[in-house]
């Protein structure tokens, strides 16, 4: 694949084969985020697990201290009194029948769904549409709950969900290039700390194998895993 001029310039700043301490990596990250828009900062964590086994399929949620710098559009699927609670908490879209129909017709103009347990029987029928896109509400992520207001407020404040892919890698956004270094550092450490705590008991050997951060248009910068893990233990 042909590399763009911007990518070549970014790669020139990174020493091949070097693992960077977090603070140095963040400094480099800001130098390589040169696009004309506010680039997202992405993080990839390679895990030493076998995601084919259900007991090693790492997934969870984390409330990033400074959010991801993006307004999260929340759809709450519920009926009755919980509709007013969801609206009061700041949900962008609230209702049921009309949104079920719209989703069945292909509408997906939202980032996350919160649903109350009493409607999951009907929401479950949307699994083929929502599941492959990672949008299906799930009790483990706190998006199937009667505590609608709490769920909405946490999501608006920076709570994100993550799940390991078939290659054993976690991909998340942990902020924007416009964030100052301290905010990015705190978001990174909050995420890594959560991942460490979720280590499956059946996982043997090295759990976190490689951690890389990058901006949307920039090259990957590999972090020194030893010094990174020493900050969260």
pLDDT at position 16: 79
Residue 1 pLDDT exceeds 60 = no
For 92, phi then psi, to 5°, come to -80, -35
Banded model confidence at residue 80, pLDDT cuts 50, 70, 90 = very high
Q: What is the pLDDT of residues 46-75, one digit of tens each?
A: 999 998 898 898 988 999 999 999 889 999
**Matching residue, tokens 């705590």:** 197
**DSSP tag of 90:** T
Q: Helix or strand or coil: residue 212?
A: strand
Phi first, then psi, for residue 152 (nearest 5°) are -65, -45
How many Å apart are CA 170 and CA 172, to the nearest integer? 7
Pairing of strands 208-215, 74-77: unpaired
Domains and CATH numbers, the chain: 20-50+172-199 (3.30.190.20), 74-157 (3.40.50.790)
Contact yes or no for 22/228 (Cβ under 8 A): yes
Sequence-ordered alpha helix ranges (H) in the chain: 5-12, 22-32, 82-89, 97-104, 120-123, 127-130, 148-157, 181-197, 225-230
Pairing verdict, β 208-215 and 112-115 = unpaired
Query: Residue 210 above 80 pLDDT?
Result: yes
pLDDT value of residue 205: 87
Average pLDDT over residues 118-134: 93
> Which of the four pLDDT bands, split at 50, 70 and 90, describes residue 3?
low
> Do 155 and 75 meet the contact criterion of CB atoms below 8 Å apart?
no
Nearest-Å Rg of the Cα atoms of the chain is 19
Q: What is the pLDDT of residue 8?
A: 63
Please state the rounded mean pLDDT for residues 119-145.
92
Question: How are beta strands 112-115 and 159-163 bridged, if at all?
Answer: unpaired
Q: In the 3-class helix/strand/coil scheme, how is 43-82 assigned residue by residue? A: EEEEECCCCCCHHHCCEEEEECCCCCCCCCCEEEECCCCH
pLDDT in tens, 137-191: 999 889 999 999 999 999 998 899 898 999 999 999 999 999 999 999 999 999 9
Rama region for 91: left / alpha / beta (φ>0; ψ in -120 to 50; rest): beta
């Amino acid at each position: 694949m042909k590399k763009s001029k911007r990518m070549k310039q970014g790669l020139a700043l990174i020493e091949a084969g070097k693992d960077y301490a977090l603070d140095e990596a963040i400094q480099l990250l800001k130098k390589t985020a040169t696009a004309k828009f506010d680039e997202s900062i992405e993080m990839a964590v390679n895990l030493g697990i076998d995601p084919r086994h259900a007991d090693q399929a790492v997934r969870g949620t984390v409330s990033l201290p400074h959010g991801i710098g993006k307004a999260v559009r929340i759809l709450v699927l519920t009926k009755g009194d919980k509709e007013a609670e969801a609206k009061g908490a700041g949900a962008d879209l609230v209702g049921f029948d009309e949104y079920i129909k719209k989703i069945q017709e292909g509408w997906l103009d939202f980032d996350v769904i919160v649903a109350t347990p009493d409607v999951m029987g009907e929401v479950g029928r949307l699994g083929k549409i929502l599941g492959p896109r990672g949008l299906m509400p799930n009790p483990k992520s706190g998006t199937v709950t009667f505590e609608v207001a709490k769920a909405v407020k946490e999501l608006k404040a920076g709570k994100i969900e993550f799940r390991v892919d078939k290659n054993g890698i976690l991909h998340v956004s942990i902020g924007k290039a416009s964030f100052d270094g301290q905010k990015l550092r705190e978001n990174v450490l909050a995420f890594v700390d959560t991942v460490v705590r979720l280590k499956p008991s059946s996982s043997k050997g090295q759990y976190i194998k490689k951690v890389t951060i990058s901006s949307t248009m920039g090259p990957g910068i590999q972090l020194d895993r030893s010094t990174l893990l020493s900050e969260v233990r």
